[in-house]
Amino acid sequence: MIRQPLLASELQSPVHLSVRPKPGPQKRQPTIQLGNPGRCPSGLTLVIIITEESGSLGGPAGNDPISNRYNEARHAVTVLARHCRCGRCLAAVIHFDTPTSRCIDPTPLTRTGKLRILSGLAVPPDAAGSSYLGPGLAAAEAIAARHPDHEVVLIILTDWELFDTNLPELLARLTTFKGSLFAVGLRNSPPESLAGPMITSLTIRPESPPGSLARAVFAGLTAHRQGKQPAATDPP
Ligand SMILES: [Zn+2]
Q: What pLDDT, in 10s, does the model give residues 160-199?
A: 999 999 999 999 999 999 999 999 999 999 999 999 999 9
Q: Give residue 48 CA to ligand 1 midpoint distance, Å.
A: 15
Q: Give residue 85 CA to ligand 1 midpoint distance, Å.
A: 5
Facing residues of 203 across strands? 185
pLDDT digits (tens, 9 = 90+) for 19-42: 334 444 444 444 688 999 999 999
Q: Give residue 110 CA to ligand 1 midpoint distance, Å.
A: 7
Look up the pTM and report it.
Answer: 0.85
Q: Where are the domains positioned within the chain?
A: 40-221
Burial of 63 (0-12, 13-18, 19+ CB in 10 A): exposed
CA angle 73, 75, 79 (to 5 degrees): 120
Closest CA to 53 of 105, 94, 106, 107: 94
Topology classification of domain 40-221: Rossmann fold (3.40.50)
Alpha-carbon torsion, ordered 136, 142, 144, 145, to 10 deg: 160
Q: Give residue 62 CA to ligand 1 midpoint distance, Å.
A: 33
pLDDT digits (tens, 9 = 90+) for 78-109: 999 999 999 999 999 999 999 999 999 999 99
State the angle between helix axes of 69-83 and 113-120 in degrees (0 to 180), rounded to the nearest 10. 170
Q: Give residue 129 CA to ligand 1 midpoint distance, Å.
A: 32
Closest CA to 213 of 191, 235, 181: 235
Share of the chain above pLDDT 90, in %: 75
